[in-house]
Amino acid sequence: MRIIAIADIHGCSMAWDTLMSMIQPQPDDLIITLGDYVDRGPDSNGVLERLINLHQTGQLVALRGNHEVLMLEARNSPEQLEAWRRWGGSETLASYPTTQTTTNLGNIPSHHWEFLEKTCVNYWETENHFFVHGNVDPLLPLNQQSDQDLFGTKFHNAKPHISGKTMICGHTRQKNGKPINLGYAICIDTWVYGTGWLTGLDINSGQIWQANQVGHSRTSWIDQFKPSESRAKFFVTS
């Protein structure tokens, strides 16, 4: 059984499809997505549909990111809708077919809202790792973390957690396309919606797969990104 973490997808369904073709998930694999499925990229609708289909197989644990929080809050008031639009919600809304009988939010199907509200979770943990979108307070157990830390705090100055487990997170985009590996904490958001990559990490073997929005892909290993390593070698596959 492989446990594979995938960071911020941000509406980039082409990169997701390429990454899945590289990983080739097996029936006993578990995929843990780290949040930020929507906004900024062109196909948030398609990304959510793919995740929902994967969840129905029992192979997906989907975390909630700050962009999902913003999307959910957009239903509360015109002001929050406008705030979400400014953070990428306009691209998300544009990815849904429009009708003359619904508002922008009304174009989003109910099963997408249900996925964001009920299926997505704030964190996940295994025997040796825990998974969050943003970061954590290193002195608090996971069930006592604030929303600000889980969804908003950047990876900068990440500290070892009291659990002794390795943190796997996204949220803090690495525009150089390289994950950050501190040993006790790993960030795999590599800016796919920009000119970067969508990254998947096998947390046990350390294998990394990366794909971008124009169909390119490459592989590497997480140990190549330790702070002592000045440069990592990638193996380009297409």
Q: What is the pLDDT of residues 122-137, one digit of tens each?
A: 999 999 999 999 999 9
- Residue 104 pLDDT grade (very low, low, confident, very high; cuts 50, 70, 90): confident
At 226 the pLDDT is: 85
**Mean per-residue pLDDT, 143-151:** 98
Q: Is 116 helix (H, G, I), strand (E, B) or coil?
A: helix
Q: What is the pLDDT of residues 79-95, one digit of tens each?
A: 999 999 999 999 999 99
Q: What is the pLDDT of residues 152-198, one digit of tens each?
A: 999 998 999 999 999 999 999 999 999 999 999 999 999 999 999 99
Q: Which of 27, 28, 68, 34 is nearest to 200 (CA)?
A: 34
In Å, how far from its chain's centre is CA 214?
19
Q: Beta 30-33 vs 3-6: how paired, if at all? A: parallel
Average pLDDT of the residues of the chain: 95
At 228 the pLDDT is: 59
How much is the pTM?
0.94
Structure tokens at 211: 């794909």
CA dihedral 30, 68, 170, 44 (to 10 degrees): 80
Residue 230 pLDDT > 50, yes or no? no
Residue 238 pLDDT > 60, yes or no? no
Residue 234 pLDDT > 60, yes or no? no
Sign of CA dihedral 188, 33, 160, 152: positive
- Residue carrying structure tokens 């949040």: 35
- % of the chain at pLDDT higher than 90: 91
**Mean per-residue pLDDT, 90-102:** 86
Q: What is the pLDDT of residues 50-85, one digit of tens each?
A: 999 999 999 999 999 999 999 999 999 999 999 999
- % of the chain at pLDDT higher than 70: 94
Residue 22, CA distances (Å) to 7, 43, 218 in order: 16, 20, 9
Tell me which of 66-70, 109-113, 225-229 is least confident.
225-229
Q: Which fold has domain 3-236?
A: Purple Acid Phosphatase; chain A, domain 2 (3.60.21)
Tell me which of 99-103, 107-111, 119-123, 213-217 is least confident.
99-103
Residue 229 dihedral angles phi and psi, to the nearest 5°: -90, 120
Residues 232 and 159: their CA atoms lie apart, in Å, by 23
